[in-house]
Every structure is written in C-alpha cells, then in structure tokens.
Structure 1
Amino acid sequence: MGKALVIGAGGVAAVAIHKCVQNSEVFEEICIASRTKSKCDELKAKLDGGKTKITTAQVDANNVEELIALINEVKPDIVMNLALPYQDLTIMDACLATKTNYMDTANYEPEDTAKFEYKWQWDYRERFEQAGITALLGSGFDPGVTGVFSAYALKHYFDEIEYIDILDCNGGDHGYPFATNFNPEINIREVSANGRYWENGEWIETKPMEIKRTYDFAEVGEKDMYLLYHEELESLAQNIPGLKRIRFFMTFGQSYLMHLKALENVGMTSIEPIEYEGKQIIPLQFLKAVLPDPASLGPRTVGKTNIGCIFKGKKDGQDKTYYVYNICDHQECYKEVGSQAISYTTGVPAMIGAAMVMTGKWNKPGVYNVEEFNPDPFMEELNKWGLPWVEDFNPVLVDTLPEDTKKPELVR
C-alpha cells in the first residue's frame, strides 16, 4: 500500500512502529528517523523479519533542510511526526516543501514559552490546500481518539451536543515516589499551568488544580481528578456545532501532587534559564534528566487507564447522555509491545491516523483535526488494533458530583 517516514524513537514512536509492522498491508515500508540513530536501529532490530521493510536514518527534526533531504531520499506517502511538539512547524515546513502528507499527536508549543495552541498549525491551512496534501493534527488519544469519539457521538446519537467532559484516568502504579508517564518536560508544563475551560463562547481560566472532583471509573475505581487545559478543547469548541461547554479532567495521586508542589516551590519546574558554573541551564530540562525515563516504566507499571468522553445534549427534542471510553491494561500493553499504557494509547491512534490518510479514507488537502473526518472507519480500527471502546447510555455526570474543597496548593 505505501511507505511512512516516522520521526521520533521514544515511547510513543515505539508503539506506533510496532503497530505499523502489525498492519503490514498498509505499511509496506517504514523509515525510522531520529537525532539518535542507535535508538532507531534498536527498534529495527526488534521488529525486522516481518512483511514490513524497515530502514533507519539520522535527522535533526529542528533542521528543515535536513528534513527535506531525508524526505526526498525516502519518498514517503506520509511523515508521522512522533518527535517533540517543539518540532511540529519545522516538520510541517519540510512536508510543504516536498508535498508530503503529515500527521502528529500533539500541537505545537514554543520551547521558551509554556503555551500550546493550534493557531501556529492552523495558519498552514491554505498552504497545505494549495500543495494538495493533508496535515492531520493530534492523532493520539487526547487529543485524537477523544475528538473521534465526539464526532462519532454527534453523528450517531445526537442532533446537538451541548456539554462534553473529557475524563483521563491513569490508575497505574509504577512504584516510584515521582515519575511522569510521558515526556516529563511536556507533562510538568501542562500540569503546572493555569486550567481553562470553554463555556458560552468564552474561555474561563482557573488556578492550577483549582477544580477537583472524585469520579468512580470502571475497572479502576474512585480517583481524584482535576480540571486542566488540554489542546483538544480548542479544536472541539470550534468543530462541534452548538456546544455550550467543554472541560478536561485528569487524575493525579497525592504523591505526584506533593512532589510537584515541592519541585515548584524550589524552582525546579521553571523554564527560565539560570546560570550554573558558567553555563546556562533550564531547571525543568535538568529535572527531566534526573527523573526516570517514561520508556523505562513499562515493566514496573501495573493497573489500568480509563479515558473517554461524557456527552450531554439533545436527540429528537429529548435530553440525552452518552459516555464512550477505553480501558487499557498497563501489563497487557507491556506484554504486547514492551511499553506502558500511556504510550500505547497514543501510539495506536497515531498508526491508525496515518493509515486513514494513506488509504484515502481521510484524505483532503488542508490542515485538519481528527473530528473533521468521518469517525466510523477510525472507530472500527480502534477495536481491531487494541483500543476497544465501551458505551454507557446512563453515565454519572460530573455536574452531579459534590465539589471537593480539599485542593492542593499548586499555585505559582
């Protein structure tokens, strides 16, 4: 069917590459490229021998000319950007220059500002349209599957969706007092920022961790969850007509929050450079270097994740509620692909999104978020490739839960 160039060789990339190899009918060839070629070679050594032909390359994803040269050499049908969000724009520039389809799992954020939004990537819309190529943004789980869930709910169960709550629960335990399940730098920037949600056409800002609820998650149990800002809120607020409010909640344990508060208090989560022994260092990048690598958590993480969306709206004039979610087992993921469920739940949809573009099911020139395409084939693929979904037509709504006033003091 075709060839993909995968940029990145971390935890999410490893899962996506495993899945590309399993889906060899679509991915006949893949080239794995990263700044550290030895990581790419390790993945190739693990996965060689199947029907998918695997090659590797070294590339600096911050360097547009290097990227262009590699794309021209490999001639892929799609570039799968599984590197860092800081590199989205250079990779998009290289795809434009070579007229190659593009996909990623997270929106662009500048390295020197703790801010992520779609504006920078949406600015490429006309150029991708004129070049006749597709850019698929945010094909991970959240963003990604949560957007597909929203499009599916609207298509099949609602005339209009008024309220969406996205609930991201990780019930896993890795045994460390403090570690992050994905890139520590991105994770800590996300969690320590102010919360935001969209209501009645405007953004409402909250202090970090200010809004807390306790939710009883299927197969995980009761967990404390906190309102955060997450990028899919921005695109779904635009792409789901008639929406009155959309929020995002993520679960955190007390140990994680205590450690994060202490690290914030001593300045270790700062992205402002400081001078140390004549060198400029960024505290958060130093912290990332001393924390456990998320890719190393797989063998020691037990428990499950439960991520999904609760919808409230109208169908045939009647009030309707609907909850669709996926449950993923950390140990099962590790047995299958050598990775914990956080990487798995992002890597599988990355492969599916790329396959949607490569097979022409999701293929129109321009820059799009996942919810702008037909959700049905993607939903089918989720069941096929390891992320089966569950439906609940009478869910407990977040607004019916008592407000929790014992909030951690996680304010800068």
Structure 2
Amino acid sequence: MNKILVIGAGGVGSVVVHKMAQLSEVFGEITLASRRQFKCDEIAASVKARTGVTIHTAQVDADDTDATAALIEKLGVTLLVNVALPYQDLTLMDACLKTGINYLDTANYEPRDEAKFEYHWQWAYQQRFEEAGLMALLGSGFDPGVTNVYTAHAKKHLLDRIDTLDILDCNGGDHGQHFATNFNPEINIREVTADVRHWENGDWVTTPALSNKQAFDFPVVGEKNMYQMYHEELESLSKHLPEIKRARFWMTFGDAYITHLQVLQNIGMTRIDPVIYEGKEIIPLQFLKAVLPDPSDLGKTTKGKTCIGNIMTGEKDGEAKTVYVYNICDHEDCFAEVGSQAISYTTGVPAMIGAALMLTGKWSGKGVFNMEQMDPDPFMDMLNEHGLPWQVTELDKPLDF
C-alpha cells in the first residue's frame, strides 16, 4: 500500500488530500502534516465527512530537515508532496534524500530575504537525486505545472514547432473583500511586485513591475485587464524547449487590487527586510500577511470563474498556426466539492495528479524534473477525469501586443 506525506495545511494542501482521498486505490495511506496540527485536524475532518476516508495528521516544522526526516521514517512513506512555502523546498528535498524517498512540489525555491524565485537552486540537486535513484518533480501545480504540460502537449500533438508562448492566468472571481490575495499573501505580493522578465531571442528582457497592461477577452469570463509578470515556468520552458523565440506570462488584476497594492508599496508594507518595532525585528510583509484575509477562507464567498491557459504560435505541416489550450474552473463548484475556491483547486488537483502518476509508475526517472519533460498524455487525461477539463481552440491570429 502506498503511503504519502503531504506537508502544508493551507488551501492547496486541503485540496490535495481531498482529491487524494477520492482516489484511494492509488493513495492508500495519507498523512497531512504542518507546523499547526490543528489545521491538519480540521482538514482531516472535512475529508472524512466528504469522502468517508480517514487521513492521518502530524505536526512538523518544515524548516527542520532532521525533524521532517524523522517523521518520514516513522510513517514509512515513499513520496513527500510539498505544498508548504517555497522557502522550504530545499529543506524538504534534503529530507527526501536523507530518507530515500521521492519528492514533488508546486512552486520553485525562493530565499526568504530576496524576492527571487528561480529553479537553479533545485536543479543543482540533479546529481544527488540521480545517484540516489530518486525522482524529484518540480512545479506540479497549474502555473507552473499544467501550463508546462499544455506546452508539451502542443509540441507533441498540435504544432511541429513552437515559436511564441503566452501564458494567460485570469481569475474572474469576486470574493467580496476590499483587498485579499487568492493564495499566500506573502508569496503573491512578492511575485507581483518583482521586476518583469520574459524570454526573447535567447535572452531575458527585464521591465518594471506592472508596466505592461493589456486587455484580453477571455473565454466565458469576458474582457479583463492583465499585466505582464515573471513566472517560474518561463525559466524551465525556455531551457527545455529552446526553439521558443518568445515566452511571456500574464495575470489579471482588478483596478482596486492594483490601487491597494500601490498604496501598500508606497508606505513600505510590502518590504521584506526587517524593521525595528518596539525593540523587536519584524518583516512588514509578514505583518501584512497576518492582517489580510486567509486565502483558505475565501471559498465561502467567492463567485465567478477562472480561465488559465496557453496561447502558442508556430507551424504545423508547413503552415502557420496559433492554438489556445485552456481550462475554465468555477469557484462555487470547487467549494461545493472540496471546500476551497478555484485558485487552491487549480493548484491542488495537478499536485494530486503528478503524485498519482509517480506512484503508478506512469511518470518515472532518476533526478530532478520539470513537468514538460514528462509525457503529457496521461496527465492531460487525468485533468479531464478529475475536475480540470481542458479545451483547444485555433485562433485566427497570434496576440498582436
């Protein structure tokens, strides 16, 4: 019987274990662990009520490699699914190497003291995982994750060559809050306020954050303003598909979100360097996180849909072609199924799918892998089967901005 350890009891962790419980023939024994065990217990009670499956819970400090390794050995698990914070990726990879088990995460490593998220820290583990005969699967969320697999699917089935890639992430939902982030506020704000980078003609082009705004008419959701950002899948896709001449990432934000964010930046609340308050060091962004709404609670009030997908141009059978591969996800449907909003759902379901493919041997290897390096077909099939169906549309022309 497979034994799995999931670390992280936020919105994504909740979705992961709910969806694992729905596939009990693959996920035999599930343990959910976090620094706050009471959160794990709350999620376990929801899983039991919704699916009838009992999952175990545990307390662990994911910053502590030895403590994590001790828990792994106590439980006898063979796969660690990391849906904790990106700061903890390397610590948890070390714990997997120490105990000889496979590893999966949904976001790449990011140092606490610098808003810089890149894969090179985790790619540096390639030899160690390979020599240990273990597999580490990076970025098995939606973006990164599904968007990487969409690209691999297009290369395998839709286009002989991919010239340009635009990843478009649209949240058309409304949670009713004046200002809130749909996933961890600290990570979200660090991403949005970082310099923009995109891949073009073999090099990175850097522009200021939120400086490129475009309107786009999304399927089902309608027209929204989207802003160019840097996102980690651009790094791995430009490495593994060097034929791509240009790769960009876009995310939608409402005017109220941008206004609030700019004010918070202007008054120093998004700083990640410590300041002294009443004789103690605090990080302003971490304090801001503490006073903002918890993203895992937003599902109760969020209505609307998300639309996330890739627009890819290239050539098929000697002719120019543009394809749009995307998913539409409904916030209220997600909450009815697993008690979470669509942002957590669209990340948690792909994490479950990646883990299932590793456990069944459909995806295997020795070393550190990004999603586009795997065969896209079984993953794409499971997206349709487990709540994230995809569509393909051929566009008359590529994006003209």
TM, length-normalised to structure 2: 0.98
CA distance in 2, matches of 1:263, 1:40: 32
CA distance in 2, matches of 1:396, 1:23: 41
Structure-2 separation of matches of 1:294 and 1:54: 23
Partner residue, 2:268:
267
Contact 1:81 1:104 in 2 (8 A): yes
Give the 4+ runs in structure 1 shifted more than 6 A: none
The structural deviation recorded for 1:43 is 1.6
**Rounded Cα–Cα distance in structure 2 between residues aligned with 1:10 and 1:317:** 47
How far did 1:64 drift? Answer: 0.5
For residue 277 of structure 1, what is the aligned residue in structure 2? Answer: 278
| CA distance in 2: counterparts of 1:104 and 1:396, whole angstroms | 35
CA distance, structure 1, for counterparts of residue 259 and residue 314 of structure 2: 38
- Equivalent pair of 1:34/1:61 in contact (CA under 8 Å): yes
The C-alpha deviation readout for 1:286-321, integer Å capped at 9, x for no partner, is 000110000111011111000000010112221111
Specify the alignment match of 1:404 in structure 2. none
- The CA distance in 2 between the partners of 1:395 and 1:310, in whole Å, is 12
2:160 alignment partner in structure 1: 159
Give the aligned CA root-mean-square deviation in angstroms.
1.1
In the other structure, the counterpart of 1:304 is 305
Q: Does 1:38 pair with 2:10?
A: no
What code does the residue aligned with 1:181 have? Answer: N
Query: Equivalents in 1 of 2:42, 2:113: separation in Å?
Result: 32
User: Is 1:373 matched up with 2:374?
Assistant: yes
The residue aligned with 1:405 is none
Q: Deviations over 1:349-382 (max 9, x none)?
A: 0000011111101111100001100000000000
Hey, what's the Cα distance between the residues in 1 that align with 2:121 and 2:12? 23
2:368 & 2:352 partners in 1: Cα distance?
A: 18
Separation of aligned partners in 2, 1:120 and 1:252: 30
Report whether the alignment pairs 1:19 with 2:10.
no
Equivalent in the alignment of 1:382: 383
Letter in 1 for 2:355: A
Partner of 1:409: none
For the 8 Å contact 2:353–2:382, the answer to whether it is kept is yes
* Paired position in structure 2 for 1:29: 29
In structure 1, what residue type is equivalent to 2:331?
H
In the alignment, the residues of structure 2 paired with residue 90 and residue 398 of structure 1 have an alpha-carbon distance, to the nearest angstrom, of 41
Distance 1:211 1:249 in 2: 9
Which structure 1 residue ranges, 5 or more long, are not aligned? 402-412
Q: What secondary structure, in the 3-state scheme, does the structure 1 residue paired with 2:395 have? A: coil
The whole-number CA distance in structure 2 between the counterparts of 1:248 and 1:6 is 29
Query: Counterpart of 1:102?
Result: 103
Whole-Å Cα distance in 2 between the matches of residues 52 and 342 of structure 1?
24
CA deviation map 1:61-107 (0-9, x unaligned) = 00010011001111112100010000000000000011100000000
* CA-CA distance at 1:241 after TM superposition: 3.8
Q: Partner of 2:314 in structure 1?
A: 313
Other structure's SS at 2:343 match: helix
Kept in 1: contact 2:44–2:54 (CA 8 A): no
Deviations 1:252-290 (A, max 9, x none): 000000000000000000001000111101100000011
Q: 1:133-148 maps to which residues of 2 (within 5 A)?
A: 133-148=134-149
Write the letter of the residue equivalent to 2:322.
T
Q: Is the 8 A contact 1:27 1:52 kept in 2?
A: no
**What is the rounded CA distance, in whole Å, between the counterparts of 1:167 and 1:319 in structure 2?**
21
1:5-404 pair list within 5 angstroms = 5-48=5-48, 52-394=53-395, 397-399=398-400, 401=401
SS of match in other structure, 1:376: helix
8 Å CA contact 1:163, 1:243 repeated in 2: yes
Deviations 1:27-81 (A, max 9, x none): 0110111111111111222223757552111100000100110011111121000
TM-superposed CA distance for 1:168, in Å, is 0.2
Q: Distance in 1 between matches of 2:57 and 2:385?
A: 28
Task: Tell me the CA shift for residue 148 of structure 1.
Answer: 0.4
Give 1:218 deviation, angstroms.
Answer: 0.7
Paired residue type of 1:364: G
Displacement of 1:395 in angstroms is 5.6
2:28 partner SS: strand
Report if aligned partners of 2:155, 2:161 keep a CA contact under 8 Å in 1: yes
Which amino acid letter does the alignment assign opposite residue 64 of structure 2? N
Change (3 A) 1:34 1:232: same
Which amino acid letter does the alignment assign opposite residue 305 of structure 2? K
CA contact (8 A) 1:7 1:79 kept: yes
In the alignment, the residues of structure 1 paired with residue 173 and residue 46 of structure 2 have an alpha-carbon distance, to the nearest angstrom, of 26
Q: Which moved more, 1:32-41 or 1:86-95?
A: 32-41
Please list every run of 5 or more consecutive structure 2 residues that lacks an aligned counterpart in the other structure.
Answer: none
**Deviation (angstroms), 1:240:** 1.5
1:221-267 Cα deviation digits (max 9, x unpaired) = 10000100000000000111411010000000000000000000000
Q: Provide TM-score, normalisation by structure 1.
A: 0.95
| Aligned residues of 1:24 and 1:51 also touching (Cα < 8 A) | no
How many Å apart are 1:398 and its aligned residue? Answer: 2.3
Q: Aligned AA for 1:221? A: G
Work out the CA distance in 2 between the residues paired with 1:339 and 1:93: 30
Q: Look up the SS of the partner of 2:362 in the other structure.
A: coil
**Bigger mean CA deviation after superposition, 379-388 or 235-244:** 235-244
